[in-house]
Structure 1
Amino acid sequence: MINVNNIIKRYGYVKALNDISFQVERGEILGFLGPNGAGKSTTMKILTGIISQDSGTVSVADHDISQNPLEVQKRIGYLPESNPLYYDMRVTDFLKFAAQMRRISSKDMTSVINNIVDSCNIGSVMYKNISELSKGFKQRVGLAQALLGSPEILILDEPTSGLDPKQIMEIRDLIKQLGKEKTVILSTHILQEVEATCTRVIIINEGKIVTSGSIEDLRRNLKGGEAVYASIRGDENAVIARLQENHNISAIDVINRFNDGITSYRITPVTGKDIREDVFHIIAKNGLALTELRRDALKLEEIFIKLTAKENS
């Protein structure tokens, strides 16, 4: 669907993007994740044809963006970080204006807008000035304009920035619904956003792609990733001493101590291997009581910190 090959983009002497390549398949919800200034918005602007790359190629549905920009832009709906709304217009007038910009015919305009209004749940604010709307409704209106023209691809740059928790959940649910019918690229620095919404993630840092894959793939491939959470009744020092004898275990951290003599531990393996069986045998062999044993998978925040720290070192 989208092919990005060896893109370089400079601003003066600074390389905002340094030879990045990636693909996006039809029907994916791709999280484009990185800290502020990593190159996310620059990438989104290149994909939508707002700015051009210095070198490399971008194609969308087999159309090269440098050679056929209008063919590419017809297939993309874009919600930039700065939502492109006219605050002195009513929502209905703004959507009609945006539909005209998308060259939707007068004959089809009403039905097209009505369908999008239903999808984005903005019927209650159609005759209000945009300036009167909450931030959440403004984002919904921005999404509505991005959907005009039935684009195959949605590119959303920081779509929940500045929203309250309830509004964030509503926008995430809407994005997931849209992802059932469209390819979605979601650019964000909010890790929970990606974990809650995306089928795959690309992590970018300082203009370079650090890694890509599903969150489960990243957890599996990151060494030391599959830690184990265990609750054990018994002398804490004895438990730690027995666990330390196993060469597959690299670290043991006490998480909690309870009044009934149970202590909970986070046990980290030397590699990403599943060590639950090792832990079970150690506890059983030494006559200790195991009350809970489960994988304590890396959170996306930990994956992100490990990978970007590795890239910066």
Structure 2
Amino acid sequence: MSIAVENISKFYGKQQALKSISFSIKKGEIVGFLGPNGAGKSTLMKILTTYIVADEGEAFVNDYNIKLDTKKVQKSVGYLPEHNPLYLDLYVKEFLAFNADVYGVAKSRIDEVIALTGLTPECHKKIGQLSKGYRQRVGLASALLHDPEVLILDEPTTGLDPNQLVEIRELIKNVGKNKTVFLSTHIMQEVEAICDRIIIINKGELVEDKSMSTLKQKSVEQIIEVEFDCEISAEIIQLSSLVKKTANGNLWQLTFESETDMRSQVFDFAQQNNLKILQLSLKNKNLEEIFREKTS
């Protein structure tokens, strides 16, 4: 396993930030780590990078114990913190050369990570002159310098504009072809686009751990959104064989426990009650809805 977390707990005074968290991540997986603000995501990432120490439990990165093999863990992990720490007065190559010395890697690696992260057009500038998107690229380049097997990325796309977000997302996908990536984010589209699996925590507890393929499979629960040409009472819906979910004016969400497409039944219901359908669509439960359910 690239990452194994076993009953990790963390306290800040009397407040418990993590409550016996356990999971494992296989080599080559890209895993989205989700949760509301204050759920404990950054705390766990800092524990895995040996930045802080857990109060209870054990964790392993590339089979190294984070408490006993600290230096080995640090050498095998590339870490991009939420607040990307950069020396703004240094030129891009200067900053990467400084970090190359820290990691003890060859200077030739600098040009490799610059090309890999798309920094070539801006590598002659001081970091303070770069846009937020390019500063994130510098942070990623630094995390990749020592060619780690595991990348831990804490909110890597926060504050980026849509174009920058797409660029960094593609960069992470490309890097993830050869490495294990564990990333936290609040952007659900980002997770759906690049992750193989999601782990959700809420109030320090693990509440969901599923592969994206499982989440995308057709659910027995079927949601149909329909807009009628006029308001109808809840009683009419309840008396029919339709199952009421929610209503907003003329717009209804109807849910069925069925694998059969129930849109024809909605059309029959409208005809029987002299109603016109203005729009109708079949909705699958998306990641954002699952997130709300698990963290509300």
- Under TM normalisation by the shorter chain, which class is it? 0.7 to 0.9
C-alpha distance in structure 1 between counterparts of 2:213 and 2:83, whole Å = 32
Correspondence for 1:259 = none
Correspondence for 1:22 = 23
C-alpha distance in structure 1 between counterparts of 2:43 and 2:207, whole Å = 16
C-alpha distance in structure 1 between counterparts of 2:160 and 2:269, whole Å = 53
Counterpart pick for 1:196 among 155, 175, 193: 193
TM-score scaled by length of structure 1: 0.82
Correspondence for 1:48 = 49
C-alpha distance in structure 1 between counterparts of 2:190 and 2:295, whole Å = 18
CA RMSD of aligned residues (A): 2.9
Counterpart pick for 2:245 among 237, 246, 251: 251
Counterpart pick for 2:264 among 265, 280, 284: 280
Please state how far the C-alpha of 1:235 moved relative to its aligned partner.
7.9
Structure 1 15/9 Cα, relative in aligned 2: closer, same or farther at 3 Å? same
The answer to whether residue 287 in structure 2 is matched with residue 300 in structure 1 is: yes
Structure 1 286/65 Cα, relative in aligned 2: closer, same or farther at 3 Å? closer
Q: Deviations over 1:195-237 (max 9, x none)?
A: 232221111111111111134634769895x3124578x8875
Give the conservation status (yes or no) of the 8 Å contact 1:9–1:54. Answer: yes
Counterpart pick for 2:139 among 128, 142, 146: 142
Is 193-202 or 204-213 further displaced after alignment?
A: 193-202
Please state how far the C-alpha of 1:241 moved relative to its aligned partner.
3.9
Structure 1 222/68 Cα, relative in aligned 2: closer, same or farther at 3 Å? farther
Question: Gaps (5+ residues) in structure 1?
Answer: 257-263
Give the conservation status (yes or no) of the 8 Å contact 1:33–1:194. Answer: no
Correspondence for 2:224 = 228
Please state how far the C-alpha of 1:242 moved relative to its aligned partner.
6.8
State the one-letter code of the partner of 1:50: Y
Give the conservation status (yes or no) of the 8 Å contact 2:219–2:259. Answer: no
Please state how far the C-alpha of 1:160 moved relative to its aligned partner.
1.2
Please state how far the C-alpha of 1:42 moved relative to its aligned partner.
0.5
Look up the SS of the partner of 2:42 in the other structure: helix
* Structure 1 segment 7-156 matched on structure 2, within 5 A: 7-105=8-106, 109-110=107-108, 112-156=109-153
Structure 1 285/155 Cα, relative in aligned 2: closer, same or farther at 3 Å? closer
Structure 1 214/101 Cα, relative in aligned 2: closer, same or farther at 3 Å? same
Is 279-288 or 56-65 further displaced after alignment?
A: 279-288
- Tell me how many residue pairs correspond in the alignment: 292
Please state how far the C-alpha of 1:170 moved relative to its aligned partner.
1.3
Q: Deviations over 1:62-85 (max 9, x none)?
A: 221111112222211000011121
C-alpha distance in structure 2 between counterparts of 1:255 and 1:237, whole Å = 9
Structure 1 291/89 Cα, relative in aligned 2: closer, same or farther at 3 Å? same
Look up the SS of the partner of 2:105 in the other structure: coil
Question: Gaps (5+ residues) in structure 2?
Answer: none
Correspondence for 1:159 = 156
C-alpha distance in structure 1 between counterparts of 2:187 and 2:196, whole Å = 15
C-alpha distance in structure 2 between counterparts of 1:244 and 1:143, whole Å = 58
C-alpha distance in structure 1 between counterparts of 2:178 and 2:238, whole Å = 50
Look up the SS of the partner of 1:276 in the other structure: coil
Give the conservation status (yes or no) of the 8 Å contact 1:90–1:128. Answer: yes
Q: Deviations over 1:120-165 (max 9, x none)?
A: 1101121211111111110000000000111111110011112222
TM-score scaled by length of structure 2: 0.87
